[in-house]
Structure formats: C-alpha cells, structure tokens
C-alpha cells in the first residue's frame, strides 16, 4: 500500500513537472518569421488604406482637392474615372487588410 501511494505521488510530481516545463516553453515563445512579416505588412496596408481613404472627396472635397483628384469633372470625364479607380484601390486594400487580420488571428 505504501508503494502504491509513493508511486502515485511520484507520478503526480512528473505531471506537475511537465506542466511547469510546458509553461516555461510557452513563456519563452518567440513569434515565427511569418507572424512578424504579416504584422509588418499589416502596418504598411493600414498606412496605404488611410492614405487612400483621405484621398476620397467628401463634402469639403477632402484631401483629394490638394492633389487635383476631386475638383469637378473635366470635359473628358477624367475625374470620374480617377474616382472610380480610387474606389477600386480602396476596396482592394480594405479586403486585403481584413484578410491579413484574419490570418494574423489564426496564427
């Protein structure tokens, strides 16, 4: 009976030791290179997305007036085509931002 109790205590100590060892490994965990790369890419995408959103013309023609994008339509309709391409680029980077966020959450 004493040997059974001693064996149980010894087995319990092994489990506790393995839990501590696992915790130490997790505490010393460093993110892989892919996580670092995707995090850096997330910062770049967010900067581009902020810039594209600020280029859109609003009630006050926004920041796009400073670059000559949103100021009235020309006789050739160039302003609307530029705005359409700006919309497409903004949607593309917004979708890329969301997808990159989801990938970063799953890693």
* Cβ atoms within 10 Å of 62's Cβ, excluding its own: 15
Question: pTM for this structure?
Answer: 0.57
Look at 78 and 25; give whichever has higher pLDDT. 25
Residue 38 sits in which domain range?
32-106
Crossing angle of helices 78-106/33-55, nearest 10°?
A: 150
Q: What is the model's pLDDT at position 60?
A: 58
Who's near 98: CB < 8 A, 6+ residues apart? Answer: none
Residues in the chain: 107
Asked whether residue 22 falls in the same domain as residue 37, the answer is no
Asked whether residue 19 falls in the same domain as residue 65, the answer is no
What's the structural domain count of the chain?
A: 2
Alpha helices, DSSP H, located in the chain: 2-27, 33-55, 78-106
Residues 21-72 pLDDT 10s: 665 665 566 678 888 999 999 999 999 999 999 998 776 555 555 566 555 5
Asked whether residue 52 falls in the same domain as residue 9, the answer is no
Q: Are 69 and 63 in contact (CB under 8 A)?
A: no
Q: What is the model's pLDDT at position 44?
A: 98
Asked whether residue 26 falls in the same domain as residue 58, the answer is no
Asked whether residue 80 falls in the same domain as residue 43, the answer is yes
Compute the mean pLDDT over every residue in the chain, rounded to the nearest whole number.
74
């Amino acid at each position: 009976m004493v040997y059974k109790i001693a064996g149980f205590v010894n087995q319990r100590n092994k489990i506790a030791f393995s839990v501590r060892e696992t915790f130490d490994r997790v505490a010393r965990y460093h993110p892989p290179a892919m996580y670092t790369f995707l995090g850096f890419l997330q910062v770049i995408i967010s900067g581009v997305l902020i810039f594209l959103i600020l280029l859109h013309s609003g009630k006050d023609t926004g920041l796009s007036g400073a670059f000559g994008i949103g100021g009235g339509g020309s006789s050739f309709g160039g302003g609307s085509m530029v705005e359409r391409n700006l919309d497409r680029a903004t949607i593309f980077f917004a979708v890329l931002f969301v997808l990159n966020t989801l990938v970063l959450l799953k890693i």
